[in-house]
Amino acid sequence: MTDKKALRKHFKEIRLSMSAEERKQADVAVQQAFLDSEEYKSCTTVLAYVSSDIEVSTAEIIRKALKSKIVLCPRCEKNGNIMYFYRINSTYDLKEGRFGIFEPDESCEKYCVFDNALCIVPALSYDKDGYRLGFGMGFYDRFLADYNGMKLGLCYDNCMSESFCHDGYDISVDKVFTDKDIYTINTKERK
């Protein structure tokens, strides 16, 4: 299966076929692996997507990070296909946004500098080289082109792939956390 549209459909079906209990257990395992990581413990800023029903949950990560870190969440701007990150101080700062996804309220402060930061990059699937199959809108591809910090992925283990066809604009993450394993990407071998 090489067609991205077919792959997206395939991985959405896998996620939707998981029972609520299976997803909850997998979410807890992924979140705990992430929260136990040295990357999380040593950063001062977390760029975290606010998960939808089909994504690996970031709820616990955001809740815990708010206690000791700067937490930035994305908001997709109405004019154009641009995504910026805004600081939240509480989950009450999140409001339903453009695509039915919760995003920072208009009153939140926009950040453009990301010192000692890590970005949690959403995906339907990752391959063993850290490349992702996103949701097809390109928001993260455009953002990551200018982002130089640590990039980490969260994925259900049953949605990991051996390898994807990727383009020149695709950027791999540094590490992927799943409910069963942690994949550290060898940066020397990445293209």
Query: Annotated binding site: which residue ranges?
Result: 4-8, 50, 55, 132-140
DSSP notation for 64-104:
HHTTTSEEEEEEE-SSSS-EEEEEESSGGGEEE-TTS-EEE
Binding-site residues for ATP sit at 4-8, 132-140
Q: How far is CA 62 from CA 7, 40, 49, 147, in A?
A: 29, 12, 9, 20
What residues have CB less than 8 Å from 146, skipping those under 6 apart? Answer: none
The residue whose two tokens read 């926009």 is 110
Which residues sit in the known binding site for substrate?
50, 55
Rg (CA), the chain: 16
